[in-house]
Amino acid sequence: MSETHNTYAAHKERQLELAALLDEASEAIAILDMNKDRKYLKELAEKAASDTFKIQVVGTFKNGKSTFINSFLGQEVLPAYATPCTAVISEIKFGADVRAVLHFKNPIPSQLPKNTPTKAMEHIRQSGDTVPPIEIRHSEIEDYAVIPMDKDPKEMLMESPYEKIELFWPLELLENGVEIIDSPGLNEAGIRTQVTMGYLNQADAILLVLTADKLCSADEMKFIENNLKQLGYDDIYFIINRFDVLRNDRDRSRVVDHAKMKLSGFTAFGEKGLYFVSALNALDGKVQNNAALYNGSGMPEFEKELSDFLVNNRGKVKLSQPAKELRRILETEAVKKSIPQLRGMLESSLAEMIARRDQAMPRLEKLKTRQLATRKNISKQIDQAIPEIRFHINKFFADLSANVATWVNEYEPATKVGMIPTQGAAEAVVRKISEYVMGRVEEEQLDWQTNTLSPFISDKIDSIISGNEANLENFFIELDAIKVTISGVDTPDEGDIPLGERLLAASAGFVVSGFSGAALGGMEGFSKDFLKGVMVQVGAMLALSFLGLLNPVTLIALIAGSLFFSMAGAGDKLVNKIKEKVAEEIQNKVNESCLDSVEKLLDDLQSKLWGAFEPFLKGMDAEIVEVETQVNRIIEEMTQGQEEINRRKALLDSCEESVHCLISKTDDFISANIAER
In a 3-state reduction of DSSP, which class is residue 91? strand
Which ranges of 128-248 would DSSP assign to H, the alpha helix?
A: 141-145, 153-156, 190-199, 218-223
pLDDT band at 564 (very low <50, low <70, confident <90, very high): very low
pLDDT band at 1 (very low <50, low <70, confident <90, very high): very low
Of these ranges, 260-264, 403-407, 571-575, the one predicted with the greatest mean pLDDT is 260-264
Closest among 445, 453, 429, 408 to 549, alpha carbons compared? 445
351, with CB counted inside 10 A (0-12, 13-18, 19+), is exposed
Dihedral pair phi/psi, residue 87, rounded to 5°: -100, -25
End-to-end CA distance of the chain: 26
Better-predicted residue by pLDDT, 304 or 657 = 657
Q: Answer yes or no: is pLDDT of 669 > 90.
A: yes
Q: Are 306 and 242 in contact (CB under 8 A)?
A: no
In a 3-state reduction of DSSP, which class is residue 417? coil
Radius of gyration from C-alpha coordinates of the chain: 30
Tell me how far the alpha carbon of residue 299 is from its chain's centroid.
Answer: 27
Dihedral pair phi/psi, residue 203, rounded to 5°: -80, 140
Q: What is the mean pLDDT of residues 476-489?
A: 91
Q: Cα–Cα distance between 558 and 431 in angstroms, integer?
A: 12
Strands annotated E in 212-294: 236-241, 274-276
Q: Cα–Cα distance between 636 and 337 in angstroms, integer?
A: 21
pLDDT band at 525 (very low <50, low <70, confident <90, very high): very low
Closest among 86, 90, 58 to 219, alpha carbons compared? 58
pLDDT of residue 517: 36
pLDDT of residue 642: 93
Percentage of residues in the chain having pLDDT higher than 90:
29
Least confident of 112-116, 136-140, 185-189: 185-189
119-128 pLDDT, tens digit per residue, is 888 888 888 7
582-613 pLDDT, tens digit per residue, is 788 778 777 776 666 677 778 878 887 888 78
pLDDT band at 537 (very low <50, low <70, confident <90, very high): low
Q: Answer yes or no: is pLDDT of 148 > 50.
A: yes
Strands annotated E in 444-508: none
Q: Are 479 and 495 in contact (CB under 8 A)?
A: no
* CB half-sphere exposure, 545, CA atoms < 13 A: 26
Better-predicted residue by pLDDT, 287 or 318 = 287
Q: What is the mean pLDDT of residues 530-545?
A: 58
pLDDT band at 507 (very low <50, low <70, confident <90, very high): confident
Q: Which amino acid is at 240?
A: I
* CB half-sphere exposure, 569, CA atoms < 13 A: 10
pLDDT of residue 419: 58
pLDDT band at 514 (very low <50, low <70, confident <90, very high): very low
Q: What is the mean pLDDT of residues 510-524?
A: 41
The β-bridge relationship of strands 53-59 and 178-182 is parallel
Q: Answer yes or no: is pLDDT of 62 > 80.
A: no
Q: What is the mean pLDDT of residues 467-476?
A: 89
Q: Which amino acid is at 53?
A: F
**Residues in Cβ contact with 628 at an 8 Å cutoff, skipping those fewer than 6 apart:** 361, 364
Better-predicted residue by pLDDT, 609 or 94 = 94
